[in-house]
Every structure is written in C-alpha cells, then in structure tokens.
C-alpha cells in the first residue's frame, strides 16, 4: 500500500467532494495521507482532516503565506503554533515550513520564521516538513547547524544528486511528486536514480503539483500511484518495491501505524 506523504486535503478545492477524493485514493492503493498545514487561519481545517481514517496532520507556517502570518505582539502565530503542537499530540511533524527564494524581498523574515519552527521541532522531537525552493544549499547548511534529532523531509525536492546526498547525510529524506513525471526534469530524474531505498517518500502535494499529462487539472492523492510507477521505471525497480520503500520510510519518519 502507498502513503501520500504530503497533501493539502484541507484545501477548499476539495470541499465539494472530499469523501470521493479519499475513496479514489484508497481505490488506487493510497492507504494513508499526511496533510500539511500552512497558516494559522487554516489549522482548524487541517486538524479536522485527522477525523478521517488513516489521515494524519502536521501544522506549520509556510513562507509563501508570509503576508498572512502575524509574527509580532501578543499571541503571535509562532506562539499559537507552539501551543497547537502541545494541544494536539496527533500532529506528526512541524510544517509545512521553509524557504522560498523566489521571494527575495522577504528572505530575512522567512529565515527568522523558519529558524523558529526548527527550534519548535527540536524541542518536541518532531520531524520537519521543509518547503525549499532555490535554496537547497543554504537550507542544508542551516539544518546541519541545528542537528534536528527527528530529521524530516525536503518536500517536492527538485535539486541535484549532490544536493540530495547532503540532505541524506543529515538524516532527511526527499519528497518526490509530480515534478519527477516530466521528461524535461533531467537533473531531478538523475537524482531519483541515485537515491538509496531509505532516502525518499512519494507525495502528491495535491491539489497542486499536477503530473505530466494532467497540467491545469486539480491534483489528487490517488495520483501518488502514478508517481510510484514513474519512480519505479526510473530506478528500474518493481512498483511493489518502490511502494514498500516509500511507505516504510514515511512510517518511520512520521511514526505512523503499520500498513
């Protein structure tokens, strides 16, 4: 069975047919899901997803939503995050958090926010779910300095084999999703081939990150099965082997129940 190690089932795009989306995922062999929260206003919707069978949640403050975060004064969002993590032991990680260097004008604020969330994860022995865009080397350096005990996942990894190796050396795994299905993603595909069996997770990032051939469509957790097919072909492994490796890695990282 497969695990979608990163999706946004709480997104309003799924409001009309969330139960049907889950049914399609299960029909495709996607047995468990991890839903990542991105901003305080949405955490309640994120937490509600854990009411679904075998759906797990994590909470964080995403760098792309920086304008939505309240980060100063009384009861700021970081204080609220610390409180929510303590009040909701069902949270399996801190995230989605990280750095998006496409937004250079907010990088200083992004780093402060990221560092604070890494500290929360370290204090609580939780893994982190890291959004890392155009900042692989800088993020790897920061993670090395902090030495997080529970590691984490570099969500939607799109870097080189060398960058992948740096993250693996730090005890992190790499999230592989729709990007790997595009033939033009040659550097990423070479990195996927180089990964050890214990170095990756499969994820949808749905409703975002559509697969090749599904551009412009809402993505769904069920399509993790197609990501698995692609990764298996690239790695010259059986689909069953890739599924077993990915799901085992997700269970170990997030401390999920057996399949």
C-alpha–C-alpha distance, residues 47 and 167, integer Å? 29
233, part of any domain: yes
- Asked if residues 148 and 118 have their Cβ atoms less than 8 Å apart, the reply is yes
162, part of any domain: yes
C-alpha–C-alpha distance, residues 9 and 65, integer Å? 18
Q: Is the pTM of this model over 0.85?
A: yes
Range of the structural domain that residue 217 is part of: 2-254
List pLDDT tens digits, range 188-222: 999 999 999 999 999 999 999 999 999 999 999 99
135, part of any domain: yes
Peptide bond into 207 cis (omega under 30): yes
C-alpha–C-alpha distance, residues 126 and 30, integer Å? 24
What's the pLDDT score for residue 167?
98
List, in order, residues 6 or more apart from 82 with CB less than 8 Å away: 120
List, in order, residues 6 or more apart from 224 with CB less than 8 Å away: 2, 3, 4, 25, 28, 30, 202, 203, 204
123, part of any domain: yes
103, part of any domain: yes
215, part of any domain: yes
**Helix (H) or strand (E) run with residue 227 in it:** helix 224-235
Residue 238 burial class via C-beta count within 10 angstroms: exposed 0-12, middle 13-18, buried 19 and up? exposed
The list of the chain residues with pLDDT below 50 reads none
Q: Any idea what the CATH number is for the domain that residue 93 is in?
A: 3.20.20.140
Instruction: Give the E-state strand segments of the chain in sequence order.
Output: 2-7, 30-36, 55-59, 91-100, 128-133, 152-155, 172-176, 200-202
What's the pLDDT score for residue 74?
72
C-alpha–C-alpha distance, residues 8 and 129, integer Å? 13
From the list 63, 68, 7, 69, the residue with the least C-alpha distance to 35 is: 7
- Asked if residues 59 and 96 have their Cβ atoms less than 8 Å apart, the reply is no
259, part of any domain: no
**For residue 35, what are its two tokens?**
């839903």
147, part of any domain: yes
Mean confidence (pLDDT) of the chain = 97
List, in order, residues 6 or more apart from 107 with CB less than 8 Å away: 99, 101
Q: What is the number of domains present in the chain?
A: 1
List pLDDT tens digits, range 168-181: 999 999 999 999 99
List pLDDT tens digits, range 122-145: 999 999 999 999 999 999 999 999
What's the pLDDT score for residue 222?
98
């Amino acid at each position: 069975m497969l695990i979608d190690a990163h999706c946004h089932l709480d997104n309003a795009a799924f409001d009309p047919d969330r139960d049907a989306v889950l049914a399609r995922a299960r029909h495709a062999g996607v047995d468990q899901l991890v839903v990542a929260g991105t901003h305080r206003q949405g955490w309640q919707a994120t937490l509600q997803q854990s009411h679904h069978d075998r759906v797990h949640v994590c909470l964080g403050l995403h760098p792309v939503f920086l304008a939505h975060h309240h980060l100063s004064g009384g009861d700021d969002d970081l204080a609220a995050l610390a409180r929510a993590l303590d009040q909701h032991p069902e949270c399996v990680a801190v995230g989605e958090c990280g750095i998006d260097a496409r937004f250079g004008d907010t990088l200083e604020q992004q780093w402060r926010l990221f560092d604070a969330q890494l500290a929360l994860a370290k204090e609580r022995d939780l893994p982190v779910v890291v959004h890392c865009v155009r900042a692989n080397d800088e993020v790897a350096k920061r993670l090395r300095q902090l030495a997080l005990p529970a590691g984490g996942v570099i969500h939607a990894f799109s870097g080189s084999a060398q960058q992948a190796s740096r993250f693996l050396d730090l005890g992190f795994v790499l999230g592989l999703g729709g990007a790997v299905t595009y033939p033009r993603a040659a550097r990423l595909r070479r990195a996927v081939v180089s990964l050890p069996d214990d170095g990756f997770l499969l994820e949808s990032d749905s409703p975002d990150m559509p697969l090749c051939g599904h551009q412009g469509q809402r993505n769904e957790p069920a399509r993790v099965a197609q990501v698995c097919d692609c990764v298996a072909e690239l790695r010259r492994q059986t689909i069953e082997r890739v599924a077993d490796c990915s799901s085992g890695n997700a269970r170990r990282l997030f401390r999920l129940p057996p399949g």
